[in-house]
Structure 1
Amino acid sequence: MPHVTAPDGVRLWVEESGEGSPILFIHEFGGDHRSWEPQLRHFARRHRCITFAARGYPPSDVPGEVARYSQAIAVADAVAVLDALGIAKAHVVGLSMGGFCALHLGLNHPERAHSIVAAGAGYGAEKAFEDYFRSVSLAVAEGFETRGAAEFAKTYAMGASRVQFLNKDPRGWAEFATQLGEHSSQGSALTMRGVQARRPSLHDLEAGFRAMALPTLVMVGDEDDHCLQPALYLKRVIPACGLVVLPKTGHTLNLEEPALFNLHLAEFLAMVEAGRWGPRDPRANPAEVMKVS
């Protein structure tokens, strides 16, 4: 089943490997279904691993209207993949744009998730930078549209939270940059305009997060500056949320530090499946510094 069909008829490219409890991996804006290869190779030993190319990312279809791209549509696409594969519930793992999708899936379709993992999810979530992020998103969209993906990828791949990957693993970064340059220029521009620039701040969803009972893991690199504060915010407002901060690490967590990413993800999944990842103990009161009585 290389393609599944979304509710509006868009075909989504799907790949899967392994057997066991299912994990759905949702990629970031700068990546695609290939970006999860280090995770599929590791977790397919014990899990049924599924990844897919978001709409706008060939070999998935590239609709030509911005109205066919949004955060809600992205979530509907992820649910459509689960439906087509006959999966009632999965562990949902997303990076950046995919992390936002995973969080929104947890908010709107909690019955479809065993757990939620959001890595590097934060751009545009800080209220102080909300307008700036939207303007930069539109500028990035124009860059893909006017210069083309192959050329603009050379700029985008050198972002402030990408150079950590380059410094640690030049070959891995070069593969990431090459794949980024292979993306659809139109699909990238429309995704940036329809999904990235229009999605709500995570702070606007606080009531939903406080009511979300799903086991959740937030992962972030300590040099991914505009994701650090949102990661702390999510840790504080989601009841059963853990936080992993990887040192000297940027935005592309799963590729930059695959061994550490896989280690923490594996431990989280094991704890969830053992029923041992619950909400924070109420005795761990953040307002308390030391016990005096």
Structure 2
Amino acid sequence: MTTTQQEFDRSFVPLTLDGVDLQVAALHRAGDKAPILFLHGFGSTKEDYADIVRYAAFNGHPFLAYDAPGCGETTCSDLARIGIPLLVKTALAMLDQFGIQRFHLVGHSMGGLTSLMLAHQHPERVLSFVDIEGNIAPEDCFLSRQIHDYAHDDAERFFEDFIERTLHAPAYASALYAASLRHKVRAGAVRGIFESMVALSDHGELMEKFLALPCPRMFMYGEQNTHLSYLAYIQSQGVHLAEIANCGHFPMYSNPTAMWERIAYLQHPSTTS
């Protein structure tokens, strides 16, 4: 009989934030190096980052990844209350639960925007920040702005139509991503998340917040998104750019090895190439 060694632990953490009851599903492990916090994007889950245990560059690093409210295995008593502010408070509460003070930060899309707001509020705690196509400008709302461009009063109908549009989008991993959306996100959470993302992207001075962060910063993007208008500008302001080949918005699905190599580079520039 063979046994499987557990390379990370699973936990369900009860939280109450602003009167909203959460049961947050997390993956984590201990270690003696600097911790890493991973925040997934809309329609994704904590398992996007479980493969950290496969890459030797991260040996010894504790990590924490969890399902955001309204997503994955995390339960939420009031889906309509979910937006970026609640997601930031969830991140802070989870860091407290696991006793994490200073940490490397990695966030994708919705998780990238959440990470940016977290880092802006507590810059002294963030050792480095890998922003994987997180919103820093209005043009980044190609998914979330659909809440206005294809508005529908019925949350379920909007979500079904969103999934269908995503299924046929001409980008790497779109069909793969679309296939699991209804299993990974509650339809009742979509409007609050998308509306808060659009509002912050349009009016939250995200670019200024991103460039003002004192830690090393990387902006990771797929080769299909080289059209983003601000790439040269943020590079001129000291941001590391990481273009991922054969990739659109989802490097963890299209080219995960390149994604992990670039994350490791920012965190260990003297020991990785």
TM-score by length of 2: 0.79
The residue type equivalent to 2:265 in the other structure is: E
1:269 alignment counterpart? 267
Determine which of 74, 86, 89 is the counterpart of 2:102: 89
1:159 and 2:173 are equivalent in the alignment: no
SS across alignment from 1:259: helix
SS across alignment from 1:200: helix
CA deviation digits over 1:179-225, x for unaligned, max 9? 312021112333223x3232234882444444321111111112125
Residues 65, 186 of structure 1: CA spacing in aligned structure 2 closer, same or farther, 3 A cutoff?
A: closer
2:27 alignment counterpart? 15
Shift of 1:150: 6.4
2:64 alignment counterpart? 50
CA deviation digits over 1:42-75, x for unaligned, max 9? 3663321211111111422334364x23323222
Shift of 1:270: 1.0
Q: Any conservation in 2 of the 1:220–1:244 contact (CA below 8 Å)?
A: yes
Residue segments in structure 1 that go unaligned for 5+ positions in a row: 167-172, 277-293
Q: Any conservation in 1 of the 2:84–2:193 contact (CA below 8 Å)?
A: no
Residues 29, 231 of structure 1: CA spacing in aligned structure 2 closer, same or farther, 3 A cutoff?
A: farther
Aligned-partner Cα distance in 2 for 1:261–1:2: 28
What pairs up with 1:208-287 in 2 under 5 angstroms?
208-224=209-225, 228-237=228-237, 239=238, 241-271=239-269
1:62 and 2:76 are equivalent in the alignment: yes
SS across alignment from 1:199: helix
The residue type equivalent to 1:24 in the other structure is: L
Q: Any conservation in 1 of the 2:106–2:131 contact (CA below 8 Å)?
A: yes
Number of equivalent positions: 257
Aligned-partner Cα distance in 1 for 2:230–2:246: 18
CA deviation digits over 1:253-288, x for unaligned, max 9? 12211011111111211138x8x9xxxxxxxxxxxx
1:190 and 2:202 are equivalent in the alignment: no
Aligned-partner Cα distance in 2 for 1:152–1:112: 36
Query: Root-mean-square deviation (CA), in Å?
Result: 3.2
Q: Any conservation in 2 of the 1:219–1:231 contact (CA below 8 Å)?
A: no
CA deviation digits over 1:76-104, x for unaligned, max 9? 21111111110001111001111111222
Residues 156, 213 of structure 1: CA spacing in aligned structure 2 closer, same or farther, 3 A cutoff?
A: same
Aligned-partner Cα distance in 2 for 1:186–1:45: 38
Residues 18, 2 of structure 1: CA spacing in aligned structure 2 closer, same or farther, 3 A cutoff?
A: same
SS across alignment from 1:164: coil
Residue segments in structure 2 that go unaligned for 5+ positions in a row: 1-10
Q: Give percent identity, aligned residues only.
A: 21
What pairs up with 1:88-167 in 2 under 5 angstroms?
88-122=101-135, 125-126=138-139, 135-139=145-149, 142=152, 145-147=155-157, 152-160=162-170, 163-165=171-173
2:5 alignment counterpart? none
1:31 and 2:21 are equivalent in the alignment: no
